[in-house]
Every structure is written in structure tokens, then in C-alpha cells.
Structure 1
Amino acid sequence: MTNKPASKVLHTWKRISLVEETIQLPNGKEIIHTTIAHPGAAVILPIDQDGNVILINQYRPSLKKWLLELPAGTIEHDEAIEHCAQRELEEETGYFAHEMISLGQVTPLAGFCDEIQYLFVAKDLTRPSRYTCDDDEIIEVVTLTIHQLEQLIITGEISDAKTIACLSKAKLCGYI
């Protein structure tokens, strides 16, 4: 029988918590570790009928600047991951994907956060509605060619890790 780690929630905001717990490392040493507990997120690479990528230019208060990035968002309570991807795509861009292809997952901040980001390619897009952002989101929809997107990554104008990871995985898997 193993002992359950002693844990304490230090702070909660939206669906994210700061948790401190006593854990035993594989070498037997016991430590106190603080983790940001996150429910996970979906990251979507929307590709239109011309092969262009739909991105968002979003103001990020934590950085106090705009970031050009792929649409993404946090998984809601008991929400299927693919449903989260479709919901976030519609909320942030107004597009609906008739084809949603899973690319697997990435772990963006493993040193201090348990978030898993689930990557998707969205194809066969239609634009049924105007996007409706959350109250704390300021978003502009931007369309770029794959070449333009890659050039912005090379020059550092796009620095968002989830965007770079999702584009790389899609390219390695042959979807672009």
C-alpha cells in the first residue's frame, strides 16, 4: 500500500490551481513540490480551402503584448477534447471544422505545470458565425500562408510555443 502525497491548494483561479504537495522521488528522496494544476487545453491548426492557416492575434495581459498564435483553449469540466477543439475554434475565429485530425499531445511546462496540450489540424472549414471571445480576450483573426507563418517563426515575430509545436507536428505528419 502506497501513501497518498499530502497536498494543499494554495490558490485557485478559474480552473487552474497552485498545489503544494509532498512527493517521493524515484531515488527515495522526499520533497515539497509546487505545481500549477491545469485541466488541459486544445490547440488547433485551422487550414482553409486554399491551404492558408487561420491564426489569432491576441492580447496577452501576462506579457502585456499581442501574440500571433493558433486558436486554443482550456478543456471544460468533463468535455471531450475534440469538442473543446471545435468549441475554441468557433469561439475564437468563427470557423467550424468538418474534419478535426488529432496530432497527439505536448507537455509545454513540465517543470512546474501538469498541463497537457492536445494538438489538432482543422480542415474543411466553414464560417457559420462571428466569433465570440471570452470577456478577458481581445482577438483579431489573421490568415497567413504556410510560408508567411514559417517566416514569422524564423524571424521571432511568432514565439508562441504551442503554435510552433503544432505546426511542426502537422508538418512532420504530412498534413501540410
Structure 2
Amino acid sequence: MQNPEKIKNPWTTLSGEEKYDNKWITVTEYQVINPGGGEGIYGKVHFKNRAIGVIPLDKDLNTWLVGQFRYTLNEWHWEIPEGGGPLDQTPLEAAQRELLEETGLKARRWKQIIRLHTSNSVTDEEGFVFLAEDIEAGESNLEETEADLKVWKLPFKDALQMVLNGKITDSMSVMGMLMVARMKGL
């Protein structure tokens, strides 16, 4: 196996032009020469936040899911509490804020369980999933875009079954819950 640090980038960037920009993303179109020598274009979505997900787990192995209508998919989805973490905030601080904001929960023990790239073919978005334990209830503080958010406390094994039977399809939720199941021997 070749050492990844010694692999030279086989792509040549000829130019780049910003096509779209808002407070969450920038879309840039690059003129490139691909690894096979052909000229073409490559679009990149740059995220201005990190993807942050949290799997809260109480002493009885219950977890909390949040449900909401996802505009981009035009569907209702159950998933772990998640959202965007500003780049000037640590992933842990963002996870603590997201959990409290969406569920009203606080946790005394935190563990980062995954660092991931959500779709490395078109975006540079980096994500982090945390396990939150030793849970304490509090008040949620939903953002305007989360006005329809529903919170559901259920046994972790039931949430895991939703992953295994395809009822939860959010990538961070799937990866995070599978990781927690493995860590806890479930």
C-alpha cells in the first residue's frame, strides 16, 4: 500500500470561478485537467460550517431522535440531533450547543466518535459525530428553521433497528449509530 502523504495530486487546476455564494456555502466551477489528461470542469461546494451530530445516550440506553421536514429531499426524516458548527467554534462546543438547542438535553460526558467527509466527490464539508452520556433534561431553543422539529426518546436498539431497516437514511445518523452499537456491543 502506498503512503497517502507521498501521493501527488494528479489533477491540474487551470482556473476557478465562483458561481454562487451565501452565508452557508460557496459554489466554485474549476477548469481542470483530469488524471487521464482530459480537460473538463469540476464543481465544488465549500461549506462555511462543519456538520455536527450528537447521539445522546442515557443510563438505560435510551436515545433521542429529531424529526423534521428536509427541504432538499422534500421528505420528513428522523435523524440524530445535528446541525452546523461555525468554523470558529470547536466541534465539541458546537455539539453541546446543537444538543441543547434541539432537544433541551445537556450531557456531562462527551466523546468524539467519528470525523468524516459528508460527500467528498463534490464538497469539502467535514463532519463530527459525538456520543453524549450522563444526560440531564433542560429547555430546548429551536432556530426558526426548526419550528416543525419533533423530539422522540426511544430505546437505542429501536433507533438502531430503524437504521438497519432503512427508515433512517441520514449519513451522519447511520454512521454514528452503527459506531455506538459497536462500541457498546449492541
Change in CA separation of 1:151 and 1:77 when aligned onto 2, cut-off 3 Å: closer
The alpha-carbon distance between structure 1 residues 170 and 24, as it changes in their structure 2 partners (threshold 3 A), is farther
**In the alignment, is the contact (CA less than 8 A) between 1:59 and 1:65 conserved in 2?**
yes
Unaligned runs of 5+ residues in structure 2 are 1-11
Structure 1 unaligned segments of length 5 or more: list them.
none
Amino acid at match of 1:134: E
Choose which of 29, 35, 47 in structure 2 pairs with 1:20.
29
**Higher normalized strand content (fraction of residues):** 2
- CA positional deviation for 1:17: 1.5
Question: Is residue 36 of structure 1 aligned with residue 20 of structure 2?
Answer: no
Cα shift readout 1:74-122 (whole Å, capped 9, x = no counterpart): 1114111110111111111111111110113122211111111111100
**Residues 1-57 of structure 1, C-alpha deviations (whole Å, 9 max, x = no match):** xx9763222112332121222345455655421011113211111102221111101
Q: Which residue pairs with 2:126 in the alignment?
A: 116
Q: Does 1:64 align with 2:74?
A: yes
In the TM superposition, what are the counterparts of 1:74-93 in structure 2 within 5 Å?
A: 74-93=84-103
Q: 1:147 to 1:77 in 2, by over 3 A?
A: closer
How many residue pairs end up in the alignment? 173
Q: Please report the TM-score for the alignment, with normalisation by the length of structure 2.
A: 0.82
Paired residues of 2:28 and 2:44 also in contact (CA < 8 A) = yes
Cα distance between partner residues in 2 of 1:17 and 1:175? 41
Structure label with greater radius of gyration: 2
Q: What does residue 10 of structure 1 align with?
A: 19
Q: Which amino acid aligns with 2:89?
A: E
Instruction: Provide TM-score, normalisation by structure 1.
Output: 0.87
Tell me how far apart the structure 2 counterparts of residues 99 and 175 of structure 1 sit (CA, whole Å): 19
